[in-house]
């Protein structure tokens, strides 16, 4: 294989990258630098844990990686596409096609069933209702909720709601899922079950995961751990 072909192959295997990423809030004497020159590459199918103390900038970093906030300096590339200089509509399109999000709180729509919550990203993409619901039902089966598809969030347990959130993040078959303390609101046993589920589905679908967690045991189950400390990202 030529050097050029090897370079192209390496580039294709990088799902998400950040180059010299910095974020400062405010200006002048009141300026606070939250992130400093972050460089990061996430391989296809890699499960990367980011750990750090509260207030270290972990959630800010995820927002920048997901194009939900703009960096003061540097740039992010997702599935070969730069997030710089994109309109909001273009960013929405890139996120819908290539990213899934899981938060500590499930953020499910209370008035919709589990099935329709999971189908929502596909409906936004433009799939027909029947196609979106069929894919959502299949994903809910994969996360062990085939028997709960017609239930609204209020009728589900905390663990079930988070499983629905996992299914929603994965139903579009994204290149990468950004997960911000995805099990932080669950009891230990339920958290273990949801984390196991995320790792298993990631393996089966070849999806990359960037997981912010305060739990060293769960971080240790990922392929790699990075620590964010005072805005600087380092290997642990």
What are 65-96's pLDDT values in tens digits? 988 888 888 999 888 888 888 888 888 888 88
pLDDT band at 105 (very low <50, low <70, confident <90, very high): confident
Tens digits of residue pLDDT in 109-144: 889 999 999 999 899 888 899 999 999 999 898 888
Model pLDDT, residue 230: 83
Specify the pLDDT at position 6: 39
Residue 60 neighbours by CB under 8 Å, 6+ apart:
23, 34, 35, 69
Give helix 88-98 / helix 114-125 axis angle, nearest 10°. 120
pLDDT at 159 over 60: yes
State the pLDDT at residue 32.
Answer: 83
Strand order in the sheet with 14-25: 32-43, 14-25, 73-78, 81-82
Of 197, 196, 181, 201, the C-alpha closest to 51 is: 181
Average pLDDT over residues 147-151: 91
Report pLDDT for 7.
42
Predicted local confidence at residue 113, as pLDDT: 93
- Contact indicator for 101, 169 with CB cutoff of 8 Å: yes
Q: Residue 10 pLDDT more than 50?
A: no
> 81: which strand partners?
78
d(CA 140, CA 135): 9
What mean pLDDT is predicted for residues 45-74?
Answer: 86
Task: Summarize the confidence of residues 161-189 as an average pLDDT.
Answer: 85
- 107 conformational bin, left if phi > 0, alpha if psi -120 to 50, beta if neither: left
H helix runs in 84-187, sequence order: 88-98, 114-125, 129-142, 158-170
């Amino acid at each position: 294989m030529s050097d050029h072909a090897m370079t192209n192959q390496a580039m294709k295997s990088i799902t998400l990258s950040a180059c010299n990423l910095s974020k400062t809030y405010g200006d002048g004497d009141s300026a606070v630098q939250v992130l400093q020159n972050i460089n990061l590459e996430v391989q296809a199918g890699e499960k990367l844990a980011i750990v750090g103390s509260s207030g270290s900038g972990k959630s800010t970093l995820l927002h920048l990686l997901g194009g939900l906030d703009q960096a003061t300096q540097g740039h992010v590339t997702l599935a070969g596409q730069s997030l710089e200089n994109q309109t909001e509509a273009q960013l929405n399109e890139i996120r819908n096609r290539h990213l899934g999000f899981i938060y500590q709180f499930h953020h499910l729509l209370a008035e919709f069933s589990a099935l329709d919550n999971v189908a929502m990203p596909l409906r936004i993409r433009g799939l027909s209702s029947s196609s979106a619901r069929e894919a959502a039902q299949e994903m809910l089966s994969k996360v062990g909720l085939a028997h709960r598809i017609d239930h609204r969030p209020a009728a589900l347990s905390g663990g079930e709601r988070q499983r629905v959130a996992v299914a929603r993040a994965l139903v579009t078959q994204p290149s990468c899922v950004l997960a911000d303390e995805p099990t932080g609101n669950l009891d230990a046993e339920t958290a273990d079950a949801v984390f196991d589920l995320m790792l298993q589905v990631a393996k089966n679908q070849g999806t990359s995961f960037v997981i912010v967690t305060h739990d060293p045991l769960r971080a240790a189950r990922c392929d790699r751990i990075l620590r964010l400390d005072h805005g600087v990202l380092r290997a642990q």
